[in-house]
Structure 1
Amino acid sequence: MTLVLASGSRIRGELLRNAGLTFEVDPATIDERLVEKPLLDAGVAPEDIALILAEAKADDVSARRHGDLVIGADQVLALGDERFTKPADMEAARRQLLSLSGKTHELISSVVLSQNGEAIWRETSVARLTMRPLSPEFVGQYLADAGADILNSVGGYQLESLGVQLFEKIEGDYFTILGLPLLPLLGKLRDLGILKS
């Protein structure tokens, strides 16, 4: 049995490698926005959206990798009733950061293990982040310094680098913020005998 990450996310891969896991990368081929749109339209809770997307990714890859254990993950950013996705461009990132400025938002991260096209384990974790008040000038400079790599992050920031300067308070698990509830995942992999206990 091979452990597979159903994502091309650089940070998720790094987290798993740094934790000592050996795995293959086989990104899911689903259209996340297509799956997400009816959920958003129906007012589905962000925790459920993150879990549904993570499961869709894991099931997509595990359906074509018989016997392998597939990790699917997803993250949703919620500001009250508003949901955010990865910004399409730097202007969208600027607007998003200014709308989050001075407010507390939630990052909801879900992880699913799937085998033979069916989920066998699910976990969701929530972190609350309070952004300090940001001036348009600061946001412009931040985006120039951080570069287009932030477009790969749902919040338009990366806490593990310059994005940490945007915040005044963070409540929750660091790995959840990075998009993967790593500690529960490692616990489940130990339970399954994939990792030594």
Structure 2
Amino acid sequence: MSRLILASGSQIRRQILQDAGIAFETIKSDVDEDALKSQHAGLSPAEMAVLLAHAKASQVSRQNPDAYVLGADQTMELDGQLLDKLPNRDLARQRLLAMRGQAHQLHAGLALVRGGEPVWQHQQSSTLWVRPFTDEFLGHYLDRAGDELTASVGAYAFEGLGAQLFERVDGEFHAVLGLPLVPLLGALREHGVLLK
């Protein structure tokens, strides 16, 4: 089987691959995401997710040309705007209030690169409707969420406490988490990383 490297420091992405029984290594890229977003500001949030995934995979692939390198990224879109992670609890609170009773989109981008050349990419979007939660719930959530408030752009971890924010989700579970698994498994089989 071919060697696979995940070019991401995301704990949830590592967990998804481990749970699926995939052998891989992790080498976190150090791509300057802010610079790329600035240089390619005309891209849609969905296109940006794929661009960032490619950049991460390509960077790690240059040092590991014999391996397949998986880059992954996820962007969030609210009212047509690409949003970034928040540095503190107060800004997370403001974002959650802006999301209350509203729908937003999560755009997952995947790229598989070998020898510096892209061999596969995938983009999958999900729409999530935040319920019109009470101020009491918000205070309780902020007290319990901890690092989740600043670790993700939406100030929630959907696989945990953050699930309580939603009344409806239109999207596949792993895509919501930022790693659409079924399309990825197909690509890994096609390229000899997994058995057919």
Please tell me the TM-score bracket, short chain as reference. over 0.9
Q: Match for residue 22 of structure 2?
A: 21
> Take 1:116 and 1:92, find their aligned partners in 2: how far apart are those partners?
41
Contact 1:98 / 1:134 at 8 angstroms: preserved in 2?
no
Give, in angstroms, the shift of residue 138 of structure 1.
2.2
Q: How far did residue 37 of structure 1 move?
A: 2.1
Alpha-carbon distance in structure 2 between the residues aligned to 1:100 and 1:149: 16
Instruction: Tell me if structure 2 keeps the 8 A contact 1:75–1:154.
Output: no
Inter-partner Cα distance in structure 1 for 2:95 and 2:9: 24
Tell me the residue number matched to 1:140: 139
Question: For residues 94 and 21 of structure 2, what CA distance do their matches in structure 1 show?
Answer: 38
- For structure 2, the residue ranges without an aligned partner over 5 or more in a row are none
| Contact kept? 2:88, 2:149, Cα under 8 Å | no
Q: Which amino acid aligns with 2:184?
A: L
Greater CA drift, 8-17 or 116-125: 116-125
Deviation sequence 1:126-180 (CA, Å, 0-9, x none): 1010001133442222021111134222211111111111000000111111011
Write out the 4+ residue segments of structure 1 that deviate beyond 3 Å after TM superposition: none
What is the identity, as a one-letter code, of the residue corresponding to 1:134? Answer: F
What is the CA RMSD across the aligned residues, in angstroms? Answer: 1.2
Indicate the residue corresponding to 2:150 in structure 1. 151
CA contact (8 A) 1:103 1:130 kept: yes
Counterpart of 2:40? 39
Q: 1:1-197 to 2 correspondence within 5 Å?
A: 1-40=2-41, 42=42, 44-197=43-196
The residue identity in structure 2 corresponding to 1:17 is Q
Opposite residue 98 of structure 1, the aligned amino acid is L
TM-score by length of 1: 0.94
- Which secondary structure does the structure 2 equivalent of 1:165 belong to? helix
Count of residues in correspondence between the two structures: 195
Identity in percent: 39
Give the Å deviation of 1:68. Answer: 0.8
Q: TM-score, normalised by structure 2?
A: 0.95
Q: Secondary structure at the match of 2:155?
A: coil
